Structure 1
Amino acid sequence: MKVLIVNPPHTAIGSRIPDDHLPPLGLLSIAGPLIDDDHEVDFLDAEFGPLPISDIVSAIEKSGCEALLLGHSGSTSAHPTSSEIARRAKECCPGLLVIYGGVFPTYHWRDILREAPEFDILVRGEGEETCRQLVNALGRNQPIAGIRGIAFRAEGKVVSTPPQPMIRDLDAYRIAWELIDFDRYSYWGGKRAVVVQFSRGCPHPCTYCGQRGFWTQWRHRNPEVFAAELAWLHRKYGIEVFNFADENPTSSKKMWKRFLEAIISENVEITLVGSTRADDIVRDRDHLHLYKKAGVERFLMGMEHTDEKVLAKIRKGATPSTDREAIRLMRQHGMLSLATWVVGFEEERDSDYWRVLRLLLSYDPDQIQSLYVTPHRWTPLFGDIRHRRVIQLDQRKWDYKHQVLATRHVPPWRVFLWVKAIEFIVQSRPRALWRLWSMRDPKLRHAHKWYYAMGRRVWIHEVLGFLFRDKRIKNGPSVAEYWGANHESEEALSRSRSAAPSISDAEPLQLNSAS
């Protein structure tokens, strides 16, 4: 079967403005098994440019593909763009089959199939095995009702089959690296880069995060096989920077240490960047030298908030003292710390922002990143704040970088002013600037200067966007009214290895019923 996989352009997020781009690992992971099954697979990355939708549709038409596969890592905010691409592609190619996957379609399948006729089949949860089974069936003109993990329309109804069993062996499916031009992808200041994934899921129950629901269970790749793949990418394609897509790659102390030792034994000079938890850094204090020797230059640590009551409420399972210690330990071992903090968990007052500023200064991170609470229907947080008012109706702005919820005590303009002021003060404090210019490690100095340069561009972009492009409303709907009343927190994957379902196992929904 002739398949075209398209990575839609992300039209809102500010971090897309630098010249660096990273390849979409999720889509390449879907492509590998399809190629191995002898399907003709092409790939279009519309993030470059970004490519206008008219050019994307023209490329789809010229490809002559039988099936169009769409998906995006930022699937909620990218959904309007994905929908427009699918709709216009259907107009010029009436017989085209559109398959859509990602976190947003996994949980909003009812709404999408009822309201968006441009999508034919939705893939729910992990896509490697589901897409393989689906495209094989379609290519042979076989029925698809027995395939787990999909949603589609059948006889006037929207149908969702039972979840696909989660992939136990993450090394069983290969990534289609051959589909990309490595010269086009870079990170960390122009260095050739790719995205990789050591593990899937997260064992922690943070209420604002959908990782536990989507991935069901934390799993990891074989540490030695994974290290060998990174070394191969470095030697064959000159990859210098590996950006981990994992939410929490260090969850298993034993497995993460095995990976560090394996990549050290490969004797390659590479850079590793990603996300982890502060308590994992503190836990590994005795072998943090292995992090550095393996090539770790920076870890983003989601500290989310500086108030212990809020941390307990969102079930973060962290403390400010642990966060401070993690930053200190990373600096001691020659690594950079990027601390994220989130605005909007509570109905903050001006005094709360002042307190956040003081505490962030006391944390003394190398870099900070501010985000806004963005409540998704499939997270436990949705149930806690479903009454809060929405001020941003443009779904493309639900990218964690735009304020979407009203704060009763502080108007949006003052929230934005506080956030930008805190970023400016923390990043330009004398101690931070002195550290920037006095770094002895040339690799760290290069990385740190690049982050400052990128941050300055994003900061200016967001200020101009707030003043001239973004539109907010005063009396918006509640979160429940905006997304619909359902709180969809079910797991996307099954832990079992049970057989494929019959059509009688499928969950039907009348097209004219409420979701």
Structure 2
Amino acid sequence: MKVLLVEPPKKPWEMMGDFIAPPLGLAQLAAVLEVNGVDVQIVDCNASELTWSQLERAIADAQPTLVGASAMTTFLPTASRVMRIAKGIDENIITVVGGPHVTFTVQETLENHPEMDIVGRGEGEHVILDLVRCLENEGDWAKVRGIAFRKDGEVVQTPLPKPVEVDELPLPAYHLLPMDAYYFTVFDKFCTVLASRGCPYKCTFCAERGFWGPGWRPRDPATVGDELELLHRRYGRESIWFGDDCFNLDGDHMGLICEEILRRDLHLDWYYQGRADLLIKHKEYLPLMRRAGNLMAQIGIEAASDEELKGLRKNLTIEQVKEAVSLLREHGMVCQGMIIIGARQDDASSIMRKLDFLKWLDVDFPVFTIYTPFPGTEAFDEAREKGWLETTDYALYDMSYPIIATEHLSREEVMGLYNRCFASFYTDPIMMARGLTSSMPWKREIWRYMLKFAARLYLRRYWSLIRELLRW
């Protein structure tokens, strides 16, 4: 039996930088299949620069029994297209889509996408292996935990399996990927790593808790060290993004990973996503982290007032944000701050206050995201119940396009303010001078990229104004 896992052609999020990241989830699934004797291949269209027609040839040449893909909400249309291509080649190919979006929209997905035979729900490692064994033995799909499928015109959902024991998983099958093709803006020898799964927090806009479950499951730091050493010594990776939902949740765990990096003499630059309050709580680890190569932290600032943070159930205060940014600067680390605009209560003044707040904080690289109610979140349930969702085109659910209007602004007005915020920050003379004259070469290079991005947003903004004038 042949399994083909596909990362479809897709446009990266410009606001996060110029990058191609490895499909870590597919590599993990492939590793589980491979160690159990299954013939598996990964096609990463982005890294291999494959067009849709070239992907079609790749699928035909592989002659797979099963084609699988994973889909975040904004990438559902591309995953759907992969499955349509597979069915067009051979209608007997079993098509499977997993990931966060389909986990939370099982009924809708199977009703609207006949090209998808099976939906994988939640973590996929147990599911994919059990499904392959079932297909090999021509067994009953209903006995495979964690899937959904159509039978006699009805959608059947099987019970979820137990959470994956993360330390029992093999290392991702990096050898099945074109590793030299992955980069992040100025870091051309780049890869992503997960040191844990899950997040115990309950932010209204985040679906991660619902997908991974309510607990936090850390990997053994020694195993993380093994993976980092493999990536550095065999694949020449020099920059690592820890893609954990909350890398700095446990100071001891984080510290042990740093010690592994130092003990193994791995010369890595790395960055992570974490929380401002936990950065303060574990501030005694900051010197160790810096010695181990930590250059940057991405923290969720999200808002400019305690009231807004409370509404997002962030369990964070503005004072904590201020202290966290100050601590990063004190220890020579760069801060990438995420902030949300276009929430239901936002007006033009509140959005501009967020811009001013980031300038006052002197965040190195702010990322403005538009409030997006993803399926699986409390925000989505509320927006659907109250009729706020103005589009169900999931390709637009990418945090750079308004899905709802606010109480004071239309979606078009939110879009204009989004463009204005990015452009204003990255063309501010003071911010620009600090970024472009930084002592860190990679920081200067990122600033040059963001200036180009800001220029594109300015052009979009003025082109929009011209079109409005012409229409008038």
**TM-score if structure 1 supplies the norm length?**
0.85
Pairing of 1:132-281 with structure 2 (within 5 A)? 132-216=129-213, 217-281=215-279
Residues 25-70 of structure 1: CA distance to partner in whole angstroms, max 9, x if unpaired?
0110000011111111111111247633222222111211111011
Give secondary structure in 2 for the equivalent of 1:170: helix
Code of the residue aligned with 1:180 in structure 2: it is L
- Corresponding residue of 2:329: 331
- Corresponding residue of 2:96: 99
4+ residue runs of structure 1 moved beyond 6 angstroms? Answer: 465-469
Separation (CA, whole Å) in 2 of partners of 1:274 and 1:341: 16
Q: Is 1:288 equivalent to 2:286 in the alignment? A: yes
Separation (CA, whole Å) in 2 of partners of 1:372 and 1:391: 14
- Decide whether the 8 Å contact of 2:106 with 2:119 is kept in 1: yes
- Decide whether the 8 Å contact of 2:271 with 2:294 is kept in 1: yes
Separation (CA, whole Å) in 1 of partners of 2:449 and 2:348: 28
Structure 1 position 169, deviation (Å): 3.2
Out of 127, 130, 134, which is 2:127 matched to? Answer: 130
Code of the residue aligned with 1:455 in structure 2: it is M
- Decide whether the 8 Å contact of 1:302 with 1:339 is kept in 2: yes
Code of the residue aligned with 1:2 in structure 2: it is K
Code of the residue aligned with 1:108 in structure 2: it is T
Give secondary structure in 1 for the equivalent of 2:69: strand
Separation (CA, whole Å) in 1 of partners of 2:11 and 2:264: 39
- Corresponding residue of 2:468: none
- Structure ranking higher on relative contact order (CA contacts 8 Å, 6+ apart): 1
Separation (CA, whole Å) in 2 of partners of 1:152 and 1:464: 46
Separation (CA, whole Å) in 1 of partners of 2:88 and 2:460: 32
CA gap of 1:353–1:9, structure 2 versus 1, over 3 A, is same
Structure 1 position 241, deviation (Å): 0.8
Structure 1 position 113, deviation (Å): 1.4
- Corresponding residue of 1:456: 451
Give secondary structure in 2 for the equivalent of 1:205: coil
Separation (CA, whole Å) in 1 of partners of 2:236 and 2:377: 39
CA gap of 1:43–1:461, structure 2 versus 1, over 3 A, is farther
Out of 304, 307, 332, which is 1:306 matched to? Answer: 304
- Decide whether the 8 Å contact of 1:308 with 1:320 is kept in 2: yes
- Corresponding residue of 1:6: 6
Give secondary structure in 2 for the equivalent of 1:5: strand
- Corresponding residue of 1:506: none
Structure 1 position 282, deviation (Å): 1.0
Pairing of 1:31-110 with structure 2 (within 5 A)? 31-48=30-47, 51-72=50-71, 75-110=72-107
Give secondary structure in 1 for the equivalent of 2:395: helix
Separation (CA, whole Å) in 2 of partners of 1:403 and 1:450: 29
Structure 1 position 393, deviation (Å): 4.5
- Decide whether the 8 Å contact of 1:10 with 1:16 is kept in 2: no
CA gap of 1:51–1:298, structure 2 versus 1, over 3 A, is same
Structure 1 position 426, deviation (Å): 2.7
Separation (CA, whole Å) in 2 of partners of 1:99 and 1:375: 25
Code of the residue aligned with 1:172 in structure 2: it is L
Residues 77-113 of structure 1: CA distance to partner in whole angstroms, max 9, x if unpaired?
1111211221132022121111111111111111121
Structure 1 position 296, deviation (Å): 0.9
CA gap of 1:256–1:315, structure 2 versus 1, over 3 A, is same
Residues 142-177 of structure 1: CA distance to partner in whole angstroms, max 9, x if unpaired?
223212111112233211111111013334333111
**TM-score if structure 2 supplies the norm length?**
0.92
CA gap of 1:12–1:303, structure 2 versus 1, over 3 A, is same
Structure 1 position 138, deviation (Å): 1.0
Give secondary structure in 2 for the equivalent of 1:145: helix
Separation (CA, whole Å) in 2 of partners of 1:304 and 1:69: 34
Residues 434-476 of structure 1: CA distance to partner in whole angstroms, max 9, x if unpaired?
4334433xxxx2221232233234334555667889xxxxxxx
CA gap of 1:249–1:459, structure 2 versus 1, over 3 A, is same
Residues 485-504 of structure 1: CA distance to partner in whole angstroms, max 9, x if unpaired?
xxxxxxxxxxxxxxxxxxxx
- Corresponding residue of 1:507: none
Calculate the aligned-residue CA RMSD, in Å: 2.2
Code of the residue aligned with 1:54 in structure 2: it is S
Separation (CA, whole Å) in 2 of partners of 1:303 and 1:5: 36
- Corresponding residue of 2:397: 398
Code of the residue aligned with 1:279 in structure 2: it is D
Code of the residue aligned with 1:178 in structure 2: it is H
- Corresponding residue of 2:409: 410
Ranges in structure 1 where 5+ consecutive residues have no aligned partner: 470-515
CA gap of 1:233–1:299, structure 2 versus 1, over 3 A, is same
CA gap of 1:174–1:364, structure 2 versus 1, over 3 A, is same
Pairing of 1:418-497 with structure 2 (within 5 A)? 418-440=417-439, 445-462=440-457
CA gap of 1:17–1:317, structure 2 versus 1, over 3 A, is closer
CA gap of 1:385–1:309, structure 2 versus 1, over 3 A, is farther
Separation (CA, whole Å) in 2 of partners of 1:117 and 1:196: 34
Structure 1 position 283, deviation (Å): 1.2
Separation (CA, whole Å) in 2 of partners of 1:171 and 1:464: 51
Separation (CA, whole Å) in 2 of partners of 1:377 and 1:182: 32
Q: Which moved more, 1:79-88 or 1:46-55?
A: 46-55
Residues 340-365 of structure 1: CA distance to partner in whole angstroms, max 9, x if unpaired?
11012233222212322322222111
Structure 1 position 370, deviation (Å): 0.4
Aligned length: 462
Code of the residue aligned with 2:9 in structure 1: it is P
CA gap of 1:465–1:2, structure 2 versus 1, over 3 A, is farther
- Decide whether the 8 Å contact of 1:3 with 1:42 is kept in 2: yes
CA gap of 1:15–1:309, structure 2 versus 1, over 3 A, is closer
Residues 192-220 of structure 1: CA distance to partner in whole angstroms, max 9, x if unpaired?
11111001111111111111111112111
Residues 345-397 of structure 1: CA distance to partner in whole angstroms, max 9, x if unpaired?
23322221232232222211111000011112311122333325334453211
CA gap of 1:231–1:11, structure 2 versus 1, over 3 A, is closer
Give secondary structure in 1 for the equivalent of 2:141: coil
